[in-house]
Chains A and B, each alone.
Chain A
Amino acid sequence: MIDVVLRTRNVNKFFYEPEKFQVLKAIDLDVSRGEFLSLMGKSGCGKSTLMYVLSTMDTDYEGELEIAGERLTGRNQNYLAGFRNRHIGFIFQFHYLLPEFTSLQNVMLPALKLGKYSHEEIESRAYEKLKILGVEDQARKLSAKLSGGQQQRVAIARALINDPDIIMGDEPTGNLDSYNSNVVFDILHELTHTYHQTIIAVTHDEDFAKRSDRIIEMSDGMILRPRQA
Chain B
Amino acid sequence: MKPVIEIAWTHIVSKPKQTIVAMLGVTFGIGMYIALISLMTGLNQFTEEVTMTSSPDIHIFNDITQDRKTILEEINPAALTYVHHQKPKQETSKIRNALQIADVIRKDPRISGVAPTLSSQVFYNYGPVQLNGLILGVEILEEDKLFDLRSKMKAGSLDDLRISTDGILVGTGLAKKLNAAVGDRVVITTPQGYTLTLKIVGMFQMGIGAVDNIRAYANISTVQTILQQDQTYITDINIKMKDRHTAKAIAPEYQAMFGYKAEDWETANATFLTGVSIRNIITWSVSITLLIVAGFGIYNILTMTIYNKMKDIAILKAMGFAGNDVRMIFMIQSLVIGFTGGLMGLVIGYILSWLISKAPFEGGDIVSLEHFPVNFDPKFYLIGIVFGVITTALAGYTPSRKAARVDPIEIIRGQ
Chain A contacts with B in 48-95, Cβ cutoff 8 A: 48, 52, 55, 57-58, 77-78, 81-86, 90, 92-94
Task: Tell me the complex Cα distance, A175–B287, Å.
Answer: 53
A109-B323 contact in complex given A52-B413, A96-B311, A100-B14, C-beta closer than 8 Å: no
Smallest CB-CB separation from A89: which chain B residue? Answer: B319
Task: Tell me the complex Cα distance, A90–B212, Å.
Answer: 85
Q: Is the CB of A82 within 8 A of B322?
A: yes
A114: CB under 8 A from chain B? Answer: yes
A98: CB under 8 A from chain B? Answer: yes
Q: Which of B5-13, B195-203, B351-359, B367-375 contacts A (4 or more CB under 8 A)?
A: B5-13
**CB of A125 to closest CB in B, whole Å:** 15
Q: Which residues of A contact B14 (CB under 8 A)?
A: 100
Q: Is the CB of A170 within 8 A of B322?
A: no
Q: Which residues of A contact B7 (CB under 8 A)?
A: 98, 109
Q: Which residues of B contact A83 (CB under 8 A)?
A: 320
Task: Tell me the complex Cα distance, A101–B8, Å.
Answer: 12
- Please give the residue numbers on chain A whose beta carbons come within 8 Å of chain B beta carbons, in ascending order: 48, 52, 55, 57-58, 77-78, 81-86, 90, 92-94, 96, 98-101, 105, 109-110, 112-115, 158, 170
Task: Give the most central of A77, A81, A93, A99: most B CB within 10 Å.
Answer: A81
Task: Tell me the complex Cα distance, A112–B3, Å.
Answer: 6
Q: Is the CB of B311 within 8 A of A113?
A: no
Task: Give the most central of B320, B413, B415: most A CB within 10 Å.
Answer: B320
Q: Is the CB of A48 within 8 A of B11?
A: no
Pick 22 A–B contacts, CB within 8 A, sort by A.
A52-B413, A57-B318, A57-B409, A77-B322, A78-B324, A81-B321, A81-B323, A82-B320, A83-B320, A84-B318, A84-B319, A85-B320, A85-B321, A86-B320, A90-B319, A96-B315, A98-B312, A98-B315, A109-B316, A112-B3, A113-B321, A158-B319
Q: Is the CB of B323 within 8 A of A77?
A: yes
Task: Tell me the complex Cα distance, A86–B319, Å.
Answer: 9
Q: Is the CB of B11 within 8 A of A57?
A: no
Using A98-B312, A109-B319 as known contacts, list a sample of 20 further A-B pairs with CB atoms less than 8 Å apart, ordered by residue number in A: A52-B413, A55-B318, A57-B409, A58-B409, A78-B322, A83-B320, A84-B318, A84-B319, A85-B321, A90-B319, A93-B415, A94-B415, A96-B314, A98-B7, A98-B316, A100-B10, A109-B3, A110-B320, A112-B3, A170-B412
**CB of B316 to closest CB in A, whole Å:** 8
Task: Tell me the complex Cα distance, A96–B411, Å.
Answer: 11
B2: CB under 8 A from chain A? Answer: yes
**CB of A162 to closest CB in B, whole Å:** 8
User: Contact partner of B322 among A81, A92, A101, CB < 8 A?
Assistant: A81
A113-B412 contact in complex given A57-B317, A82-B320, A98-B7, C-beta closer than 8 Å: no
Q: Which residues of A contact B314 (CB under 8 A)?
A: 96
Q: Which residues of A contact B320 (CB under 8 A)?
A: 81-86, 110, 113-114
Q: Is the CB of A57 within 8 A of B408?
A: yes
B166: CB under 8 A from chain A? Answer: no
Task: Tell me the complex Cα distance, A34–B285, Å.
Answer: 67
Q: Is the CB of A112 within 8 A of B6?
A: yes
Smallest CB-CB separation from A170: which chain B residue? Answer: B412
Q: Which residues of B contact A52 (CB under 8 A)?
A: 409, 413
**CB of B236 to closest CB in A, whole Å:** 75
A90-B322 contact in complex given A48-B413, A100-B11, A112-B6, C-beta closer than 8 Å: no
**CB of B322 to closest CB in A, whole Å:** 4
Q: Is the CB of A92 within 8 A of B11?
A: no
B325: CB under 8 A from chain A? Answer: yes
Q: Is the CB of B409 within 8 A of A92?
A: no
Indicate with 1 or 0, residue by residue over B375-415, a CB within 8 angstroms of chain A CB atoms: 00000000000000000000000000000000011001101
Q: Which residues of A contact B311 (CB under 8 A)?
A: 94, 96
**CB of A58 to closest CB in B, whole Å:** 6
